[in-house]
A = this chain, B = another copy of it.
Amino acid sequence: MEPVTEATDLLKLDRQVCFALSIASRSVIGLYRPLLQPMGLTHPQYLVMLALWESEPLSVKELGELLQLDPGTLSPLLKRLEALGYVHRERNSHDERTLAVTLTPVGRRLRAEAEKIPPAIVARLGMDIEELEHLHTSLMRLIAATQRS
């Protein structure tokens, strides 16, 4: 039995938080997987579609800011969404550097199908909306904490 110093104590608490965060994220994504599969979407692709269902068109830069993702991650992801026939990628005529990502009619219609997913997830989790909202608030505070200075 080793002595519990302040260092090992902090190490343990912290370990639990970063463990929990990684595992929770992967576990929840795992819940989405079978629901997204029929549409041919991965979870990150689903997040991009959610962003586009809210606002269109979006540039790679704008998507990157919304999803906190690298252009190097989004670029090939968007090509796969285009290959699936859900989005259209076109250079902006006023600024040829930026890309205008828009939904295709098929991509727009997919939203109706996607709306069945969240209730299924919430039901599967069997947690109160209230508790989920509280968790969301805590996570947003954590995200804010990681981003100051």
Contact = CB atoms under 8 A, between A and B. Distances in A.
> Copies per complex?
2
Q: Is the interface of A mostly helix, strand, loop or mixed?
A: helix
A146 interface: yes
B136 A17 contact: yes
Interface residues of A, number: 59
Interface stretch (A25-33, A82-90, A91-99): A25-33
A146 B27 CA distance: 6
A37 B120 CA distance: 40
11 contacts: A13-B129, A14-B117, A20-B139, A20-B140, A21-B24, A22-B29, A23-B67, A24-B139, A25-B25, A127-B145, A135-B139
